[in-house]
Chain A
Amino acid sequence: MTQLDSRGIVEVSDGGVSVELKGEAMTLNIGPQHPSTHGVLRLVAEVDGERISKLDPAIGYMHRGKEKLSEVRTYPQITALINRIDWVSGFANEVAFIRAVEKLTGIEPTERAQMIRLILTELTRISNHLVFASSYPLELGAATPLMWAFREREHIMDVIESVTGGRFHPNFNRVGGVKPAAGGGKTQKKVSLDLPSGFYASVENAMDKAELACDELDELVTGNEMIQIRTKDVGIISYEDAVAYGISGPNARASGVPTDLRKLEPDVLPYAGLDFDVITRENGDSFDRYLVRIAEIRESIKIVRQAVNSVPAGPLQAKVPRVLKVPAGSIYVRAENPKGEMGYYIVSQGGRVPYRVKIRSASFSNISIMSKVAVGQLIPDLVATMGSLDFVLGDVDR
């Protein structure tokens, strides 16, 4: 294949006759309104034909000022804000924040609450990865996996709804435990909402269905040769690049970086007693990123099945003062979000509201590599790479 040289001129020699073809670079605006940019990501691409010579991601179209808004809200109010950062995995967003506040105040959550948090976090992870596994084939042009995976994901959403009352934005975590019952007031005694009756059975059912979804996806997507030729060796991220760009979560693990905060940060949630593997793969291409997520669904199913059998009895919430005041100090707590490392740096000067909240979100770092990986790719490869990074614009812009 003839490549344009730096002046944009191709020299074709044909029997002594030399012809000069001058190619002109075209600037293609991909997004902010585009079907495969997951919302409002804008990519300014310089293309030569369909080959990308330069890519410049422009972010900020969905900046909602979460960090600034947090500065004028009390700590319990902030959970309602931050579960909207990455709306596909709302519950997981809350956990790291609430653990940070708990560590800052020295309030220990009850064991039962911690286990419920763990189960719901893993359910969120399965649901997030199912959304990925369904929308990624859609970006490659296959529409059916979307419906199949969403059908099974619905059972998980039902479980989350039955416990928390919300499907996407549970707002279920409270400092020291989980959500108290509605009502309350002076006459009614304040009680914590416990797990609804039939919870364990419905979780088991949802896990069976999620396993079924994995099997179906394996048949329809993983083994599909067209998916494989579209994703194998496309958008390769090396181990070094993954570390240098701060890529985390399944994207990093697909490049062989064995980072999993569930293992590395054992005091955030009680993963210590549970048996599960950290999935890693070697190639770091789009297909590996897909495979890692499918394997992680199966691991998470394993975790949930163990956790459901070991939920300790006891209160759902620790003793917490009516008006929560956090002593002066600062802390950084991170946890394994379905998309990668989700961390909160909280600075408190004492009182009911934080002085500063810095949110470290996974998607922001994960898409930072786009401008490096995309150079030299074709437009279809760009879409395949972009989709495999599994980002959410709310998580990028915050």
Chain B
Amino acid sequence: MIENVPFALLLGIKVLVVLGLMLGVSLVLIYAELKWSAHIQSRVGPWYVGGRWGWAHPLAEAVKFLQKEDLVPEEADDKVFRLAPYVMLAGTVATFVVIPIGPEWVARNLDVGIFYLLAISSLSTLGVLMAGWGSGNKYSLIGGVRAGAQLIAYELPLVLALVAVAIQAGTLSLTGIVEAQATPLFTIGGVDIALPYVLSGQIIGFVIFVIASLAELNRTPFDLPLAESELTMGYVTEYSGLRFTMFFLGEYAGMVSMAAIVSTVYLGGYWMPGLSDSALDIAGPFILLAKIFFVLFLFIWFRWTWPRIREDQLQGLAWKWLIPLTLFNIIATATLKVVL
């Protein structure tokens, strides 16, 4: 059926689905963060907009931001300043191209899926650096430089954690990784048992990946580039209106894409035990969404519980702990792969 659709139309549909999914889920996530953080802090959270439980609050906020004046500071590097939010958003949206949301549901099943993911997700940090430099503000500059240092420190554990997964799965394709997790490991009483990687050997990798992705996303406890109490708002200090909304959406879209990667690589993606391929075709996206929101809940929980650590402590954590641990993880995985 899918073969008969013209390529251009298919591409258009895919682009719309990816964009709609990313932005839609981001809006839901903004609402979820407002509500979850409220309940953690014994507040009610959004309540009035939209009639019930304030469900339309994120929409109303987006509309509010659209009405604000689009300010460009006199000191700013005009072009860089204007371009930065789009670079950031593009980097995050592009990651969703390779995330499989069902056995047949993937925008593009690249053979080098993981490689593409890691390369393209760093693009958003470029946006942050551009914003920091282009704003012509000292606080923004410090924020941008912090983001750059953070990228260098945390890209490495991120990549190395995924190397171990690639070794265990024997493929770089994300669909392949999900299928590898769905392959039965052993049989108990005639029932084939398959386990996601978080339960079958990659627990260290999972923890490190979550920590490193928090740093990659500039989320608490690694929100140093924003650091409201130190750098006012870091690299977004000078932004307003639509461009600020882009950063805001970019942050949440980034969370969704990171959570999607974690769910796909470590938690089994769209796959769930006991469901056939045809059932997964329909249920897959929802299973993936549930897993994504589980990871997102972790992200939000961390943010509203922990303070921020310092730049030197952050670097120490990356170079002294995470990178040696990931290297150990790779060796252990490779050894087990050969032995078993």
Residues of A within 8 A of B304 (CB): 143-144
Residues of B within 8 A of A220 (CB): 305
Alpha-carbon distance between A137 and B304 when the two chains are bound, in angstroms: 11
Q: How far, in angstroms, from A138 to B305 measured CA to CA in the complex?
A: 11
- State whether A229 touches B309 (Cβ < 8 A): yes
A230 pairs with B310, CB closer than 8 A: yes
A140 engages B311 (CB within 8 Å): no
Segment of B97-105, B115-123, B224-232 engaged in the interface with chain A: B224-232
Contacting pair A140 B308 (CB below 8 A)? yes
Q: Is A165 an interface residue (CB 8 A)?
A: no
Q: Select one of B138, B228, B311 contacting A26, CB under 8 A.
A: B138
State which of B223, B229, B305, B313 has its C-beta within 8 Å of the C-beta of A383.
B229
- Is there a chain B Cβ closer than 8 Å to A151's Cβ? yes
Interface hub of A142, A220, A383 (most chain B Cβ within 10 A): A142
Contacts of A138 in B (CB 8 A): 229
The answer to whether B221 and A226 touch across the interface, beta carbons within 8 angstroms, is: yes
Interface assignment of A361: CB less than 8 Å from any CB of chain B? no
Q: Is B7 an interface residue (CB 8 A)?
A: no
Query: How distant is A178 from chain B, measured CB to nearest CB, in Å?
Result: 34
C-alpha gap A143/B229 in the complex (Å): 11
Is the CB–CB distance between B306 and A34 below 8 Å? no
Tell whether B42 is near chain A: CB-to-CB under 8 Å.
yes
A50 within 8 A of B: yes
Stretch at the interface among A56-64, A115-123, A373-381: A373-381
Q: Give Cα A220–Cα B232 distance, bound, in whole angstroms.
A: 25
Assuming A224-B307, A378-B311, A380-B311, is B142 touching A140 (CB within 8 A)? no
* From B43, B223, B232, B309, contact of A226 by CB (8 A): B309
A140, B309: Cα distance in complex, Å: 8
Note all chain B residues with C-beta closer than 8 A to A36.
229-230
The residues of B that contact A224 with a CB separation of less than 8 Å are 306-307
Most buried by A among B40, B42, B231: B231
How far, in angstroms, from A307 to B309 measured CA to CA in the complex?
Answer: 42
Given A50-B311, A151-B42, A230-B310, check contact A141 B223 (CB 8 Å): yes
Q: How far is the CB of A209 from chain B (nearest CB, A)?
A: 13
Contact, CB under 8 Å: B307 / A226: yes
When distances are taken between beta carbons in the complex, the residues of chain A under 8 Å from B229 are 35-36, 138-141, 383
Total CB contacts across the A-B interface at under 8 A: 77
**A140–B228 alpha-carbon span in the complex (Å):** 10
* Cβ-based interface call for B213 (8 A): no
A118 to chain B, nearest CB (A): 32
B310 touches A147 (CB 8 A): no
Q: Is A148 an interface residue (CB 8 A)?
A: yes
List, in ascending order, chain B residues with CB within 8 A of A140's CB: 229, 307-308
Question: What is the size, in residues, of chain A's interface with B at 8 Å between Cβ atoms?
Answer: 29
Q: Which residues of A contact B307 (CB under 8 A)?
A: 137, 140-142, 224, 226-227, 230
Q: How far is the CA of A252 from the CA of B228 in the complex (A)?
A: 29
Check A380 against B306 for contact (C-beta < 8 Å). Answer: no
- For the complex, give the distance between the alpha carbons of A64 and B136 in Å: 34
**Contact between B40 and A379, CB atoms less than 8 A apart:** no
Contact A142 B305 (CB under 8 A): yes
Report A-chain residues with C-beta under 8 Å of the C-beta of B231.
Answer: 379
B76-91 CB mask vs A (1 if < 8 Å, else 0) is: 0000000000000000
Residue of A nearest to B224 (CB): A380
A230 to B230, CA, bound (A): 13
Verify B310–A381 contact, CB threshold 8 A: yes
Q: Residue among A137, A144, A146 with the most chain B CB within 10 A?
A: A144
Contact (Cβ within 8 A) A378 B308? no
Known: A380-B230, A383-B230. A144 touches B305 (CB 8 A): yes
Q: Please give me the residue from chain B that is nearest to A151 by CB atom.
A: B42
Q: Is B312 part of the binding interface, using a Cβ–Cβ cutoff of 8 Å?
A: yes
B200 at the binding interface (Cβ < 8 Å): no
Q: How far is the CA of A299 from the CA of B42 in the complex (A)?
A: 27
Q: Does B220 contact A (CB under 8 A)?
A: yes
List which A375-391 residues lie within 8 A (CB) of chain B: 378-381, 383
- Kindly state whether residue A28 has any CB partner on chain B within 8 Å: yes
B residues 121-170 touching A (CB-CB < 8 Å): 138-139, 142
Contact code string A136-166 (vs B, CB < 8 Å = 1, else 0): 0111111110111001000000000000000
Contacts of A26 on B, CB cut-off 8 Å?
Answer: 138
Cross-chain contact B305 with A379 (CB below 8 angstroms): no
* Contact assessment for A380 and B138 in the assembled complex, using a CB-CB cutoff below 8 Å: no
A227 to B304, CA, bound (A): 14
Which residues of chain A have C-beta atoms less than 8 A from B308's C-beta?
140-142, 226, 230, 380
B278 CB within 8 Å of chain A: no
Q: Which residue of A lies closest to B138 (CB)?
A: A28
**Closest chain B residue, CB of each to CB of A143:** B304
Q: Within the complex, what minimum Cβ distance (angstroms) separates A145 from chain B?
A: 9
The answer to whether B43 and A147 have CB atoms under 8 Å apart is yes
11 contacts between A and B (CB under 8 A): A35-B229, A140-B308, A141-B306, A144-B41, A144-B304, A148-B41, A230-B309, A378-B310, A379-B231, A380-B224, A381-B310
Extra contacts besides A141-B306, A226-B306, A379-B231 (17): CB < 8 Å? A35-B228, A35-B229, A36-B229, A137-B307, A141-B221, A141-B227, A141-B307, A144-B41, A144-B304, A146-B41, A151-B42, A224-B306, A226-B308, A227-B307, A378-B311, A380-B224, A380-B230
4 smallest beta-carbon distances between A and B, as pairs: A141-B308, A147-B41, A142-B307, A140-B307
